[in-house]
Amino acid sequence: MKNRSTLVYSLLVMLMAGISGRVVAQDTQTDNHQVTVVVPVVALLDLETSDTENLTATFTKPANDEAGNKIVAPTAISTTWLNYTTIQAGTTTKKVNVKASGVVDGVDIQLVAATASATGAGTKGTPAGTITLSTTDQTLISGIGSAYTASGASSGHQLTYSFVADDANYASLRSDETTITVTYTLADN
């Protein structure tokens, strides 16, 4: 009987050791899990104004209707602000291109973007300087990284339009009202 008790006791000890070994193996002093953070690619552009969205520039007759004088160019218009939000997919930066749907005979429409305002954060772009609008894309702002300018007038890059009737193009001027569309595009550099 002693052999049988010893055998049962031995089996019971082995069974308990196996169970306790499994219980201890299930939990440890540390554990972990994964957290996945997803940041989307973002490319948003908007024009904001402190006045009206559509602009009108009117040349006027010479002062005092004096014959022999050149027509007077309109005052520059600086009521539009370019806002953007970008998150890059890699190291490629973005740019803002601009083009016009047409040109006005005898008139150069010039555009300049100011340095970005202090609002927002990130790698805001660098303005190209004054460009003369044409029907082909031209880079207005380059080197935009992951950034946001904040939204609204007085945020982002202030845009200034000026209108020039150069003597070299004066013969092309015609009395008319011409509407063109100026398109801004946020694109990869």
Residues 87-146 pLDDT 10s: 999 899 999 999 999 999 999 999 999 999 999 999 999 999 999 999 999 999 999 999
Contact (Cβ atoms closer than 8 angstroms) between residue 114 and residue 76: no
Residues 148-183 pLDDT 10s: 999 999 999 999 999 999 999 999 999 999 999 999
Average pLDDT of the segment spanning 17-31: 66
Contact (Cβ atoms closer than 8 angstroms) between residue 114 and residue 155: no
CA separation for the pair 138, 37 (Å, rounded): 36
Contact (Cβ atoms closer than 8 angstroms) between residue 101 and residue 135: yes
**Who wins on pLDDT, 4 or 88?**
88
Neighbours of 79 (CB within 10 A): 16
State yes or no: pLDDT of 1 exceeds 90.
no
Model confidence band, residue 12 (pLDDT cutoffs 50, 70, 90):
low
Model confidence band, residue 63 (pLDDT cutoffs 50, 70, 90):
confident
| pLDDT of 10 | 59
Q: Which of 122, 121, 126 is nearest to 157 (CA)?
A: 126
| pLDDT of 18 | 58
44 pairs with which residues across the strands?
85
Tokens, residue 149: 């300018």
| pLDDT of 27 | 80
Residue 154 backbone zone (phi > 0: left; psi -120 to 50: alpha; other: beta): left
The structure tokens 């609002």 sit at 119
| pLDDT of 109 | 98
Model confidence band, residue 8 (pLDDT cutoffs 50, 70, 90):
low
| pLDDT of 51 | 82
